[in-house]
């Protein structure tokens, strides 16, 4: 419940909250998992596994995959599947404190975060969810992404 209530919780708060969430899934907050969370807290864009390993070569690839899966299951991280070769991971919105969308580069696969004005966000959500419900589809979330070329790939 405390998670995400403050738009930008103190650094320590995040770890405490992650530990709590993991507990609800019967998992503990190990050093490796903490490394991953710490990494994502300080990253301004979703990371692929190779990028994670680049920054933490001491971690075993399989453990990174496995721990990100655990963190995903606990609702701590979000897995982003683009057309790119690798999936990417970022802290769930409850932990970053702000709902956002993505600028996906179709050239290099990088992903940047952007936010939409609440008014715009509201209009889209209302419209989409209305349509969905009318067809018996139960909405759980949405993704609004822009595809294009990032500054580096123009």
| Binding positions for DNA, rule: CB under 7 A | 26-28, 30-33, 48-49, 58-63, 65-67, 69, 85-87
CB 96 within 8 A of CB 9: no
* Closest CB 49 distance from a second copy, rounded Å: 16
* Closest CB 56 distance from DNA, rounded Å: 10
* Closest CB 87 distance from a second copy, rounded Å: 8
Given the complex with DNA, which of 53 and 132 has the nearer CB atom? 53
* Closest CB 54 distance from DNA, rounded Å: 13
CB 63 within 8 A of CB 32: yes
Give the pairing of strands 88-91 and 101-105: unpaired
Cα–Cα dist 130/121, whole Å: 14
Given the complex with DNA, which of 9 and 18 has the nearer CB atom? 18
Choose among DNA, a second copy, none what residue 9 binds, the Cβ cut-off being 5 to 8 Å by kind.
none
Cα–Cα dist 148/135, whole Å: 31
Binding site for a second copy (CB under 8 A): 79, 81-83, 101, 103, 105-106, 112, 114, 116-117, 120, 123-124, 127-129, 131-132, 135-151, 154
Given the complex with DNA, which of 39 and 87 has the nearer CB atom? 87
Two structure tokens written together for 33: 């998992």
Given the complex with a second copy, which of 20 and 125 has the nearer CB atom? 125
Q: Residue 40: exposed, middle, or buried by beta-carbon count in 10 A (0-12, 13-18, 19+)?
A: buried
Cα–Cα dist 106/112, whole Å: 12
């Amino acid at each position: 419940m405390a998670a995400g209530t403050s738009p930008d919780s103190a650094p320590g708060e995040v770890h405490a909250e992650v530990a709590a969430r993991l507990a609800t899934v019967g998992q503990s907050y190990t050093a490796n998992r903490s490394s991953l969370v710490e990494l994502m807290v300080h990253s301004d864009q979703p990371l692929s596994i190779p990028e994670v390993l680049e920054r933490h070569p001491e971690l075993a690839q399989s453990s990174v995959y496995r721990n990100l899966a655990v963190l995903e299951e606990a609702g701590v991280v979000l897995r982003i599947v683009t057309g790119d070769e690798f999936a990417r991971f970022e802290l769930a919105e409850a932990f970053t404190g702000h709902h956002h969308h993505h600028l996906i580069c179709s050239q290099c696969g990088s992903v940047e975060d952007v936010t939409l004005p609440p008014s715009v966000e509201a209009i889209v959500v209302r419209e989409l969810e209305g349509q969905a419900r009318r067809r018996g589809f139960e909405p759980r979330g949405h993704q609004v992404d822009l595809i294009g070329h990032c500054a580096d790939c123009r």
